Amino acid sequence: MKRQINLSIVLSQKKIKFVLLIALSFGFITFSHSQTTSEKKGSLKTISYGEYDGDYGKEYDYVAIGYVNNNQFVENQILTFLTNRNKKVADTIVSGRCFYAEDGNSYIDGIWKKYEYEGRNTIKKIIRLKGVFKVSNNKNIIGITTNKKIGEEPIIKTMTNTNYNLEIIYKELKLETSINDLVEQEINSSIFNDYIKKSKKVKLTFNNGDSFTGTVKEPMSSVDYSADLIPDDGEYKYSKGEIANGEIYYSPFYHKFLLDKGTIVFQDGSVEDENDVEENSWLKQYKLSNDEIEVMYRDSESLTDMRNKAKSIGEERGKETKEKKILQDQLIEKIRQNKQRLKDKLVVKYGENIGNKILQGKLEAGMSKSMVSDVWKEEYFTVSNIVRNSQNFEVWEFDSGKMATDLIKEYGKDAYNAFLGISLAEQFGKITIPKTLIFKNDKLTDIYR
């Protein structure tokens, strides 16, 4: 007589402990020798369903391996459903201890497993779900038949009010979480994503040693990342010891998961803030360019290594800026002193009115070549003579190279290259350099700017 059990006890309290004795990767079964066949109350059998002649000889839709007694799988024993066993890899469909309810429904307390492929042989992901499943394989959808003639494709449903431990293995990471709000439905790989995205505690373990715990989201596209779900908000631990807390995103440019908004705790325990205004703001505070940051991501061992390099660069640049500021202040003071000496000379030589005009670069017709040269040195110009209407004129054409040579001689090449334009503008104001000056009989007649 079939023993009846209280299924609610199995579902809620899980009082019956079991050990899965199946190698899930290949569907091979290994049984403990501590129990005799009589204790198992049945004989171990392999039942093939949906037999047909295939490319590899006899093939089947699926195979069930378990202990059978009175044409029924024995309760409280391991029962395993596999895909076609004659193929190179027999994938596990579901495996665990089998139980029956008073209404005739059958349940397996164990693991459901699913492979998904990208091509013929490349595995995209492996899904494992551990919990209690409602299983049937016949027309009336009640119970599990051992009669391979009437056995149909297994129908595996999730049970309500049952905690499920979910594990998904992708190429680059493993996802783990618990789901406790699944409704009764036929199980397939497409039902999980929405449940996973609602979970507040999803664990991701990456092949490179990184890990993440928190909420997840779908990537922008498969180009961004190969997994269906990636970190969203939570704690991201890098393999070198840094911890990012906050909103995480994947950068296809740097090929890394990075912090969008939150904090980064470095190896020494120090903390840097990141915000969503500018990417890599914790690095750019050291005045790094995007190209420099790209090189750091490529060549640095860790975020701490990057931060230390950035600090070193920032300190060196700060030192250079300070030195440039000192040099600029010295240059400005020298120009100020030269300007004051020139002013005193011009006032003594021409009086305050004309002297100030010349100092400010205000050239006027009638000025002598000597007066003009007191501000705009003749050495800055290329001088030539022309004849116009039988009269001789002297033409000065401005040559910036000659002016630069003279200023470098006075103030030094480094000062000229880095600061002289700024310093002259600050000290003399906006002075328009005359492009061409024309003199007749030593007097300025025409000014072209």
Closest CA relative to residue 395, chosen from 344, 437, 332, 342:
437
Q: What is the pLDDT of residues 428-442, one digit of tens each?
A: 445 577 899 999 999
Q: Which pLDDT score, from 0 to 100, does residue 430 have?
A: 53
Distance CA 64, CA 152 (A): 12
Q: What is the pLDDT of residues 153-189, one digit of tens each?
A: 999 999 988 899 999 999 899 999 999 888 999 998 8
Place of tokens 């790094």: 288
Q: What is the pLDDT of residues 281-340, one digit of tens each?
A: 888 888 888 888 888 888 899 999 999 998 888 888 878 778 778 777 777 788 788 888
Taking 50 as the pLDDT cut, the residues of the chain under it are 1-39, 422-423, 425-429
Distance CA 231, CA 265 (A): 18
| pTM reported for the whole predicted model | 0.67
Q: Exposed e or buried b for every residue in 85-122, given b needs 16+ CB within 10 A?
A: beeeebbbbbbbbbbbbeeebbbbbbbbbbeeeeeeee
Q: Which pLDDT score, from 0 to 100, does residue 422 have?
A: 47
Q: Which pLDDT score, from 0 to 100, does residue 87 have?
A: 59
- The alpha carbon dihedral of 134, 91, 121, 174 has a sign of positive
Q: Which residues pair with 117 in a beta bridge?
A: 123
DSSP string, 4-39: P--HHHHHHT--S-----EETTTTEE---TTS-HHH
Distance CA 283, CA 266 (A): 13
**Token pair listed for 110:** 């164990």
Distances (CA, A) of 252 to 53, 62, 224, 249, 293: 48, 42, 6, 10, 14
Query: Element (H or E) spanning 372, and its range?
Result: helix 369-373
